[in-house]
Amino acid sequence: MSRGDQLQRQWNLLRTLQTRGEGIPLQDLARELEVVERTIQRDLELLQKLGFPIEHEDDEIGK
């Protein structure tokens, strides 16, 4: 996967989180973005390290 594809996916992830708000199951994000859950986890970890205020609790994001 190219770096551009990764950035696009991460941008889409941020937009999805902003639009849908709190308590989004990890499985739903993975299905919606057409990737495996581990990819979402890695993207979320990176976005948190970059300073985006993303909280998670077990398998739900945004709580």
Assess contact for 16 and 29: CB atoms under 8 A: yes
* Bridge partners, 57 (sequence order): 60
Q: Give residues with Cβ within 8 angstroms of 54, minimum separation 6.
A: 17, 44, 47, 48, 61, 62
Domains and CATH numbers, the chain: 3-61 (1.10.10)
Q: What is the pLDDT of residues 3-15, one digit of tens each?
A: 889 999 999 999 9
Distance in angstroms (rounded) separating the CA atoms of residues 14 and 54: 9
Q: Tell me the average confidence (pLDDT) per consecutive run of 10 residues in the chain, 63 residues long.
A: 90 93 89 96 95 75 55
